[in-house]
Chains A and B, each alone.
Chain A
Amino acid sequence: AQKVTQAQTEISVVEKEDVTLDCVYETRDTTYYLFWYKQPPSGELVFLIRRNSFDEQNEISGRYSWNFQKSTSSFNFTITASQVVDSAVYFCALIGGGTSYGKLTFGQGTILTVHP
């Protein structure tokens, strides 16, 4: 079985603060894929990033960065200089192998509120 845990249920910051959303996963598979999705107040799910288990390079995309560490089974997401438009629910998710092939397992989600 696989599991994704997002320890922070809610985070509240003031605009321009940096914020990190934590994600810890469990899987017995040696090959797996990790994802982050954003769900803004409008409700749709927006794909942000995919990371393969054999690629531990960190990634930066504008104000977003992701830190993947296999040794601690973590895939954390940092927003630098947060903005009000970053307010959303963020989900970390995992696709493993075996009987979990093709099926996303989601974390519980972290509600991020950025205040002006």
Chain B
Amino acid sequence: NAGVTQTPKFQVLKTGQSMTLQCAQDMNHNSMYWYRQDPGMGLRLIYYSASEGTTDKGEVPNGYNVSRLNKREFSLRLESAAPSQTSVYFCASRPGHFYSNQPQHFGDGTRLSIL
């Protein structure tokens, strides 16, 4: 049972390069999320998808785009990477409807460094 799978696990980019972080879940969850984790700031929501075909901005969406390709996959794209986007990125999914109180299941994270 893979749960939430993120690829890649590590990546180094140069300023201005573009990249897509991939996320897939095999639990048939409706909701999916992208967070970034920075020291001393906890996790902050970048974008989320309440269901297949919908996406919405979270707390820190600037510089990112997302695609909910199908129910399983939710990708995060950096069009022109900046050093401020150096972070650990987590994808999560959640069962039930969007307004449920079910806990989110997290992937193992992607460590992204931008030079």
Contacts and interface: CB of A to CB of B under 8 A. Distances in A.
Interface residues on B, range: 20 to 34
Given A44-B108, A95-B101, A109 B94 contact: no
Contacts of B90: 45
A103 interface: yes
Interface stretch (B18-26, B40-48, B63-71, B76-84): B40-48
Interface in A34-72: 35, 37, 43-45, 47, 50, 52
Nearest to A52: B101
B43 A106 contact: yes
Interface of B: 31, 33, 35, 40-45, 48, 50, 58, 88, 90, 92, 94, 98-109
Contacts of A101: 98-99
A33 B105 CA distance: 16
